[in-house]
A and B are shown apart, each in its own frame.
Chain A
Amino acid sequence: MYSASDLRKGLKVQIDGEPYIIIDFEFSKPGKGQALYRTKMRNMITGNQFTQTYRSNDKFEKPDLEERTMQFLYSQGDEFHFMDTSSYDQIFITRAQLGDNINFLVDNMEVQVLYFGEKPIDISLPIFVNLAVTRADPWVKGDTSGTDTKPVTVETGYQLQVPPFVEEGDKIQIDTRTGDYMTRVKE
Chain B
Amino acid sequence: MLSPAGLKQRSDFIQSLRLFFRKRDYIEVDTPIRLPVFLPEAEIFPYASENWWLQTSPELSMKRLLARGVSRIFQVCHCFRREESGRLHASEFTLLEWYHVGWDYQDLMRECEELVRTLASVCRELPGIVNGDTLLYHGRKIFFSVPWQRMSVEEAFAAFTGTTPVQALKDECFDELLVTEIEPHLGWERPLFLYDYPVQLASLARKKSAAPHLAERFELYCCGIELANGFSELVDPEQQRKRFLHELAGMQRQGRKGEMPELFLRDLAQVSDAAGIALGVDRLLMLFLQADRLADVLPFAEE
A binding-site residues for B, Cβ under 8 Å: 5, 26-36, 38, 53, 56-57
Contact = CB atoms under 8 A, between A and B. Distances in A.
Q: When A and B form their complex, which 4 residue pairs have the shortest distance between CB atoms, in order from nearest?
A: A27-B86, A33-B175, A31-B229, A34-B175
B201 interface: yes
B43 interface: yes
B114 interface: no
Contacts, number: 53
Given A34-B43, A35-B43, A36-B176, A29 B89 contact: yes
Contacts of A57: 254
Interface string B76-105: 000000011111110000000000000000
Contacts of A5: 83
B87 A32 contact: no
A27 B176 contact: no
Query: Which of A28, A29, A32, A56 is packed against the most chain B CB atoms within 10 Å?
Result: A32
Interface SS of B by simple majority: mixed
Interface in B208-239: 219, 226, 229
B203 interface: yes
Interface stretch (B63-71, B115-123, B177-185, B268-276): B177-185
Given A32-B201, A33-B175, A36-B175, A27 B87 contact: yes
B83 A28 contact: no
A56 B175 contact: no
A34 B183 CA distance: 15
Contact of B41 (A26, A29, A32, A53): A32
Nearest to B88: A28
Given A27-B84, A27-B86, A36 B179 contact: yes
B174 interface: yes
Contact of B83 (A26, A30, A53, A56): A56
Contacts of A31: 219, 226, 229
Contacts of A56: 83
B260 interface: no
B7 interface: no
Nearest to B183: A30
A30 B44 contact: no
Contact of A53 (B180, B202, B226): B180
Contact of B89 (A27, A32, A33, A38): A27
B178 A33 contact: yes
B180 A30 contact: no
A57 B180 CA distance: 19
B86 A28 contact: yes
Nearest to B83: A5
